[in-house]
Structure formats: C-alpha cells, structure tokens
Amino acid sequence: MEEMNSPAGRTERQPEGYLAFMPSTLPPALTALGQDDLLAITHATEIVGRLAGTAARLPNPDLFVAMYVRKEAILSSRIEGIESTLDEILDYERDEADREGPADPADRIAQVVNHVRAARLGAERIGPAAPITLALIRELHAVLMHGARNEGGGPAGQFRDTQNWIGPRGSSPFDARYVPPPAARMQLALGNLAHYINEQPGIPVLIRCAIAHAQFETIHPFHDGNGRIGRLLMPLILGKYGALPQPLLYLSLFLLAHRQEYYDRLTLVRSRGDWMGWLRFFCEAVRLTGEDALATIARVEALQATIRATAQDFPPSARALAETIFDNPVLSANSAMKLIGSSFPTAQGALQRLVEAGILVETTGKRRNKRYRFTTYIDILGAAGENAPGFGMPG
C-alpha cells in the first residue's frame, strides 16, 4: 500500500514494518456544496421520499420486501464473487420448509441465504428509538457468516483482534492494496462511527449513510463479510431515521454495475479526502436504484391486482394459496399444505387450480414430487435493473 495523508486519514508504519491506514474521526469537514452537489442530494432525497410514500400505500409491503431483500442479497454477494440465482435461493428456502429443518446446499447458496436472514434481522431491530449499535453489527455478522467459510479466520460475530488486509490471495500486509487500522485503533474508530451514526445531530440522512458506509469499509472490522455488512448498514440508517421505513432501497444493483468506480471512489476518500466525489457517486446510486425500485413496485402492484381479481372465483383453498405466493413463489404440495393449513389432496387441488389459471407453472414434468413456480413474479424481480439506464449490468 502506498503512503496516504489526507483529511480522511493517513498511513502509519507499524512495528512490523508495513503501512496501515488510520481513519480520521467523523464527521469529516466537507467542502461547501456546489450546485451539482446540491442537485445530486436533492434528486436522491426526492426519490427516497417517493419510495417511502409508495411503501405506505402497498397493501402488504412485506410480500414485496421479502423478495426484494433476496434480490439485494444476491447482488451484494455477487460483488464479493459469490454467485447464485434467485431460483437457487427460493429452492433452498422451499427445501427447508419441506424437510422441517436446514437443507445442505452448496456453500455459496448458504452464504446468500444467510445474507437474507441478516437483512431481515436488521430490519426487525431498527426504528427511531433503536440505535445501530456495535453489538447489533456483530449480531448481523454472526448471522451472515453462520456455517460459511471465514476467509480471513476469526469467529463469526466478533470484531477482529489481529491485522487484516485487502489484496490478492497469498498477499501480505507488505504488498496489499489496502491495510486498515490495527485492532486497537480499529476499536476507537468503531466507537466514533457508532456515535456518528446514532448521535451526531443535524446531518442529512443520505450524507450520514454515505459517510458511514465509506468509513465502515475503511475500518474493515471483520476478517470476512465487511462489504456485505457495510452495504446492509445503509438501509438500516434510512430506517432508523424514518426516511424509508420499509427497506426498499438497496444499492448493490448500481454498485455491482459500477464496481470498479465504487472501489476507486472509496480509495479516493482515503488518499485525497475526496468525500464530495464519493457523495455524488452515492447520490447517483440512490437516484437510479430508487427509480428502478419504483418501476419494479409498479409492475408488482399491477400483478397483485391481476392475481386477486383472477382468484375471486377460486375455491377457498386456492384463493388462500394465491394470497401466499408473493412471499412463497416456489412451492411443492407439502409447502402449500403447510401455508394454507389443509390436507395434502386439498393443497394439490389448490396448486392445480393456480396452474390452470396460468398463475403457477409446474417445472418438473414428474408425476410425483412436483414443484411449482410463480414465474411472472420471479421474472419481474429477477430482471429488476437489468436493462435500466445507468446500470449497464455485466453479464
């Protein structure tokens, strides 16, 4: 790592001889906002407000949020090189329901499902009176890393007590791209970060989000999972301050499409103190991701209305099942039976009614152990942002 000395922090040589970065305390001294900066913040704030209003009118926002969290977990994990598909995640969750216990999927799928669970836990815990504590961050990390390989060592749910670094496999702190503060200085920086998130008055919520995320990435307090936890912090901060009560804004879609610039912007904060460049980038991510979320919600609302209208003439069991499929879009007869509290034959009949109506698609072609997919809904969520202007999603 090269020497750095900026308003955001500086490198210091450690007793072992390598350089480590010591972040400055928050809040940073931001330069005066120019017209472009103000416009970027204004447009991003407007989008967040529109999303909050949309969430308030959704008939059951939890149904949409549950799927949106899954999509975000897939994208956030993909930034870290962990690949999975929406169908794999849904299959995993269905298998758990059918087997009355945890399935044993490939490790990459387990990690993404853990991300979903951590996001849900964070959303449950956050509110205006609930601080985002270091204990909560550790708890989210424990859920995220449960049963997964911890590439850097150290237990899940615990801040590191040894030095870590960012670099190619086989690198050391002497040739790493970035070396965060050693453990003792890390603890001081974490305390300052928690105070900034929860106690510093008068900071616009989007600026607070952007700076907190960048500082968390700079501190890098875990041996593994820092990026995913750092991205989870952003919807938690929006929820804590009431800007977006439902977690409908996840930025990994944009950050994945602009991954190199994402990393470069964080580096420029450390090397030059370029907080304003990072804030503009962050606000553009909020604006474009928010616009895509609004368009996706509109498509889901239209689909919900169509399904409810179609299901009005269904038998009670099929109508009840139709109400569950937005949260359980991959089904078997066993899982349908549990969802609607019916007998096995009744669940089979309800599934067949939804197939006949073109709502579900049977995907196996088998006589037994059939699986059913709410294809239209999964495709809406799976395609979110894929062709939106400004994303340029990689293949």
Task: Indicate the average pLDDT of the chain.
Answer: 89
CATH number at residue 165: 1.10.3290.10
The pLDDT-based confidence of 243 (bands split at 50, 70, 90) is: very high
pLDDT number for residue 386: 56
pLDDT number for residue 185: 97
The pLDDT-based confidence of 394 (bands split at 50, 70, 90) is: very low
Please tell me the distance from the alpha carbon of residue 297 to that of residue 79, in angstroms, as a whole number. 24
Q: Are 65 and 155 found together in one domain?
A: yes
Higher pLDDT among residues 270 and 85, named by residue: 270
- Angle between helix axes 275-311 and 35-57 (nearest 10 degrees) is 20
Inter-residue contact 298 to 53 (CB < 8 Å): no
- 304 in any annotated domain: no
Q: What angle do CA 362, 78, 223 make, to 5 degrees?
A: 130
Inter-residue contact 109 to 92 (CB < 8 Å): yes
Q: Are 278 and 346 found together in one domain?
A: no
Please tell me the distance from the alpha carbon of residue 121 to that of residue 117, in angstroms, as a whole number. 6
Q: Are 74 and 131 found together in one domain?
A: yes
Q: Are 169 and 20 found together in one domain?
A: yes
The pLDDT-based confidence of 356 (bands split at 50, 70, 90) is: very high
pLDDT number for residue 105: 46
Higher pLDDT among residues 59 and 199, named by residue: 199
- 364 in any annotated domain: yes
Q: Are 164 and 239 found together in one domain?
A: yes
Identify the residue whose tokens are 């070396």: 179
Q: Which residues sit opposite 372 in a β-bridge?
A: 331, 362
Does 382 have pLDDT greater than 80? no
| Number of Cβ within a 10 Å radius of residue 354 | 25
- 391 in any annotated domain: no
Q: Are 283 and 319 found together in one domain?
A: no
Q: Are 332 and 213 found together in one domain?
A: no
Residue range(s) defining the domain that contains residue 322: 312-382
Reported as a single tens digit per residue, the pLDDT across 98-117 is 555 454 445 788 889 999 99
Q: Residue 244, SS3?
A: coil
Instruction: Choose the weakest-confidence range: 51-60, 76-85, 266-275.
Output: 51-60
pLDDT number for residue 395: 38
pLDDT number for residue 145: 92
Q: Are 273 and 318 found together in one domain?
A: no
- 150 in any annotated domain: yes
Backbone angles phi, psi at 327, to 5 degrees: -100, -15
Question: Domain tally for the chain?
Answer: 2
Does 150 have pLDDT greater than 70? no
Reported as a single tens digit per residue, the pLDDT across 320-343 is 999 999 888 888 999 999 999 999
Higher pLDDT among residues 394 and 202, named by residue: 202
Does 72 have pLDDT greater than 50? yes
- 133 in any annotated domain: yes
Q: Residue 127, SS3?
A: strand
> What would the two tokens of residue 54 be?
């949309």
Q: Are 156 and 239 found together in one domain?
A: yes
Above pLDDT 70, what percent of the chain?
A: 92
Does 53 have pLDDT greater than 50? yes
Q: How far is CA 53 from the centre of its chain?
A: 21
Domain final position from 292, 321, 344: 292
pLDDT number for residue 388: 55
Does 153 have pLDDT greater than 80? no
Highest mean pLDDT: which range of 67-81, 116-130, 255-269, 366-380: 255-269
Reported as a single tens digit per residue, the pLDDT across 181-203 is 999 999 999 999 999 999 988 99
The pLDDT-based confidence of 384 (bands split at 50, 70, 90) is: low
Backbone angles phi, psi at 357, to 5 degrees: -80, -5
Domain final position from 259, 292, 325: 292
Identify the residue whose tokens are 């037994």: 368
Instruction: Choose the weakest-confidence range: 57-71, 176-190, 230-244, 347-361.
Output: 57-71
Please tell me the distance from the alpha carbon of residue 347 to that of residue 337, in angstroms, as a whole number. 5
Tell which residue, 75, 129, 106, has the closest CA to residue 254.
75
Tell which residue, 344, 343, 386, 392, has the closest CA to residue 368.
344
Q: Are 251 and 324 found together in one domain?
A: no
Q: Are 238 and 359 found together in one domain?
A: no
